[in-house]
C-alpha cells in the first residue's frame, strides 16, 4: 500500500477560520493515524536498546513559503497540535508494541530554507503529546513574515525530512514523512528523485493538500500530491 493522501479544507471568504482549522485537524488526524499505527507486533529480541526506542518516527514537514498567509499558517500549526493530542491518536499510540512514537516538526520553503521547530521528541502518552503540541503552537510559523520566504520546494521537504529520519537518535520500526503544503513543487530540484530516494530507504511519504479557495477542479492539488509525492509502504 502506498502513502496516504488527504485533501485539506477549502476556506470560505469571511470565515473565522475555526471551521477550516477543524477540517484540517481531521485531515491531519487521518494521516497521523495511518502513520502511527504499526501493524505487526515486533519480537522484543529484535529491538536494540537505543536512546529513543519507538514504534514509529514521524517527521511533520510544514510549508512556510511566501504563499502561506497567517490563516493558512494557523491552520497548519494548530491543526498539527490538535491532531497530535487527540484521543484517537493517543489511543493509537498506546495500542502499538512499545506504546511510543518519535515526532519532529520542521518548516520549509525554498532549497536551503528550513527550520526545525520541534526536534526529535518521544511521545508515550497525553502529557508528552501536550508538551510537544505546545512547542508547535508557540514556536511554529505565524505567516506574518512572508516576504522573502521563497518558493515551494516539495523536493526540499522530502530531502530534509529524509535527513531527519536518517539521523533519528534511536530505533523505529517505521519511518514517515508527513508533508503539508498549499502548492506544487515550483522551486529547487524535481520531486521524483527525492521521492524515489526516500522510498528506497523504506520511508513512507504522506501528504495533506491545502487547496486555494479558487482551485481549478480540473487540476486539484490533491491529485498532484497523489500522483507525484506520496509513496512507500503504509
Q: The CATH number of the domain where 211 resides is what?
A: 3.40.50.410
Coil, strand or helix at 180? strand
Q: Compute the average pLDDT of residues 25-48.
A: 56
Asked whether residue 42 is domain-assigned, the answer is no
Asked whether residue 44 is domain-assigned, the answer is no
Q: How confident is the model at residue 48 (pLDDT cuts 50, 70, 90)?
A: very low
Q: Other C-beta atoms within 10 Å of 42: how many?
A: 14
Per-residue pLDDT at 73 exceeds 60: yes
Asked whether residue 164 is domain-assigned, the answer is yes
DSSP state, 66? T
pTM over 0.75, yes/no = yes
Q: What is the pLDDT of residue 76?
A: 93
Q: How confident is the model at residue 11 (pLDDT cuts 50, 70, 90)?
A: very low
| Cα-based angle 75, 136, 92 (whole degrees, multiple of 5) | 85
Q: Compute the average pLDDT of residues 138-152.
A: 82
Query: What percent of the chain has pLDDT above 70?
Result: 76
Q: Which residue has the higher pLDDT, 49 or 232?
A: 232
Domains of the chain: total: 1
| Cβ 31 vs Cβ 208: under 8 Å | yes
- Provide the domain limits for residue 67: 5-10+18-36+52-228
Asked whether residue 45 is domain-assigned, the answer is no
Q: Which of 11, 134, 10, 8 is nearest to 78 (CA)?
A: 134
Alpha-helix residue ranges (DSSP H) falling in 42-97: 70-84, 87-94
Asked whether residue 41 is domain-assigned, the answer is no
Amino acid at each position: 500500500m502506498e502513502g496516504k493522501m488527504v485533501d485539506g479544507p477549502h476556506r470560505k471568504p469571511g470565515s473565522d477560520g475555526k471551521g477550516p482549522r477543524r477540517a484540517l485537524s481531521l485531515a491531519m488526524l487521518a494521516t497521523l493515524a495511518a502513520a502511527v499505527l504499526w501493524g505487526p507486533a515486533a519480537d522484543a529480541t529484535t529491538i536494540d536498546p537505543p536512546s529513543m526506542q519507538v514504534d514509529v518516527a514521524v517527521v511533520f514537514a510544514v510549508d512556510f513559503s511566501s504563499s502561506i498567509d497567517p490563516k493558512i499558517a494557523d491552520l497548519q500549526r494548530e491543526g498539527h497540535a490538535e491532531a497530535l493530542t487527540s484521543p484517537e491518536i493517543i489511543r493509537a499510540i498506546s495500542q502499538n508494541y512499545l506504546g511510543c512514537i518519535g515526532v519532529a516538526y520542521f518548516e520549509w520553503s525554498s532549497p536551503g530554507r528550513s527550520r526545525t521547530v520541534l526536534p526529535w521528541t518521544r511521545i508515550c502518552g497525553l502529557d508528552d503529546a501536550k508538551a510537544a503540541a505546545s512547542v508547535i503552537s508557540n514556536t511554529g510559523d505565524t505567516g506574518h513574515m512572508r516576504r522573502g520566504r521563497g518558493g515551494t520546494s516539495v523536493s526540499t521537504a522530502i530531502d530534509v525530512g529524509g535527513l531527519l529520519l536518517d539521523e533519528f537518535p534511536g530505533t523505529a520500526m517505521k519511518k514517515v514523512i508527513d508533508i503539508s503544503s498549499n502548492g506544487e513543487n515550483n522551486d529547487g530540484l524535481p520531486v521524483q528523485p527525492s521521492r524515489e530516494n526516500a522510498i528506497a530507504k523504506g520511508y513512507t511519504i504522506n501528504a495533506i493538500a491545502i487547496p486555494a479557495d479558487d482551485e481549478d477542479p480540473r487540476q486539484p492539488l490533491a491529485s498532484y500530491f497523489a500522483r507525484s509525492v506520496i509513496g512507500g509502504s503504509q
